[in-house]
């Protein structure tokens, strides 16, 4: 059987969410706990490593340590700046018995067994696997440097209040429509043969936004398998409400 060690980078500042999203309630438990629960149920997952924020690690460990420990997860310190740094630090804690390493976004709690079946089955034969979903909307490339402010304020109100009152609305020119047939949106968990990921990260991960990119930079081939549109990443407050609805639906099936 595969021995999968899962790394959850959880050291981010949740800037776009506006607060610590991993601690937010999601159906009676914190978001981070929901994600760990979904992974801990799998027989292939033999180790879960959560890389927390180094500057507030004691607080993070006090908040999540007991409940995550109950699910067999261990907490380590992540990176201060970029996601890849957290993964690189967590790799040092991967069990020597691990055959594979999976890296999963800590804020993706809506993991289905079908998705995990696909990525683990593919990873048993391929050295690098990433779940992806099709791009269903028309894709436009814009020129943000040429964006113009099209909002017009009320000059009288502005003069009284001493500032601009109209909301800022920028309109950027469209450069081209991008063909979407070969485009895919990457998700996690991304699963790799252990030695492949370790050797790729030994080269560094500067400028990358996911682990598949780090592996590709090392010259390896990454294969895409069908993802799950419901496997959303909680980035903004509205995403949390959507995740709660998805989990309720999954529980009712």
The Cα–Cα gap between 82 and 9 comes to 10
Coil, strand or helix at 49: strand
pLDDT mean over 15-28 = 90
Q: Is the model's pLDDT at 179 over the cut of 80?
A: yes
Give the helix ranges, DSSP H, for the chain: 31-40, 57-70, 83-91, 113-123, 155-161, 194-201, 211-217, 237-252
What whole-number distance in Å separates Cα of residue 22 and Cα of residue 14?
8
Q: What is the pLDDT of residue 17?
A: 87
Lowest mean pLDDT across 64-78, 138-152, 195-209, 230-244: 138-152
Q: Are both 242 and 122 inside the same structural domain?
A: yes
My answer on whether 173 and 184 are in the same domain is: no
The boundaries of the domain holding residue 15 are 4-137+180-252
Residue at a domain's end among 157, 178, 199: 178
Contact (Cβ atoms closer than 8 angstroms) between residue 147 and residue 207: no
Assess whether 174 and 121 both reside in one domain.
no
Q: Please state, in angstroms and rounded to a whole number, the distance separating the CA atoms of residues 86 and 88.
A: 5
Question: Is residue 146 located within the same domain as residue 217?
Answer: no
For tokens 């294969």, the residue is: 223
pLDDT of residue 151: 64
Are 92 and 46 part of one and the same domain? yes
Same domain, 173 and 64: no
Residues 87 and 185 placed together within one structural domain of the fold: yes
CATH number at residue 120: 3.90.550.10
Within this chain, do residues 222 and 237 fall inside the same structural domain, yes or no? yes
Is there a single domain that holds both residue 39 and residue 132?
yes
What is the value of pTM for the model shown? 0.90
Q: Is 154 helix (H, G, I), strand (E, B) or coil?
A: coil
Clarify whether residues 152 and 185 are in a common domain.
Answer: no
8 A C-beta contact, residue 35 and residue 108:
yes
Q: CB 250: neighbour CB atoms within 10 A?
A: 14
Say yes or no to pLDDT of 158 above 70.
no
Each residue's pLDDT tens digit, 61-78? 999 999 999 999 999 999
Angle between helices 83-91 and 194-201 (to 10 degrees): 120
Q: What is the number of domains present in the chain?
A: 2
User: What tokens appear for 102 in the block?
Assistant: 């999976």
What's the confidence (pLDDT) of residue 1? 83
Q: Give me the residues paired with residue 50 across strands.
A: 8, 75
Q: Is the pLDDT of residue 167 over 70?
A: no
Q: Compute the distance between CA of residue 97 and CA of residue 95 in angstroms, rounded to an integer.
A: 5
Position of tokens 């943000």?
A: 144
Residue with tokens 């420990």: 69
Q: Is residue 185 domain-shared with residue 132, that is, in the same domain?
A: yes
Q: Rounded mean pLDDT of the chain? A: 93
Residues 157 and 39 in one domain: no
> How many angstroms separate the CA atoms of 98 and 7, rounded?
12
């Amino acid at each position: 059987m595969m021995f999968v060690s899962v790394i959850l980078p959880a050291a981010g500042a949740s800037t776009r969410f506006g607060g610590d999203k991993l601690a937010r309630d999601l159906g009676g438990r914190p978001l981070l706990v929901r994600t760990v629960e979904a992974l801990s149920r799998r027989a292939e997952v033999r180790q879960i490593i959560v890389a927390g924020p180094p500057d507030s690690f004691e607080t993070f460990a006090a908040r999540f340590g007991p409940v995550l420990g109950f699910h067999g997860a261990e907490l380590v310190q992540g990176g201060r700046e970029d996601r890849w740094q957290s993964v690189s630090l967590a790799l040092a804690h991967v069990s020597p018995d691990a055959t594979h390493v999976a890296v999963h976004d800590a804020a993706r709690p809506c993991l289905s067994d079908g998705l995990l079946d696909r990525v683990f089955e593919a990873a048993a034969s391929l050295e690098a696997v990433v779940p992806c979903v099709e791009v269903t909307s028309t894709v436009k490339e814009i020129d943000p440097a040429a964006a113009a402010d099209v909002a017009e304020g009320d000059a009288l109100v502005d003069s009284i209040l001493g500032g601009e009152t109209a909301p800022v609305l920028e309109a950027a020119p469209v450069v081209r429509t991008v063909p979407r047939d070969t485009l895919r949106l990457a998700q996690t968990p991304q699963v790799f043969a252990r030695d492949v990921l370790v050797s790729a990260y030994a080269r560094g991960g500067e400028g990358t936004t996911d682990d598949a990119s780090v592996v590709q930079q090392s010259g390896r081939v990454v294969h895409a398998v069908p993802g799950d549109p419901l496997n959303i990443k909680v980035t903004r407050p509205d995403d949390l409400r959507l995740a709660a609805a998805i989990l309720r639906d999954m529980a009712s099936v």
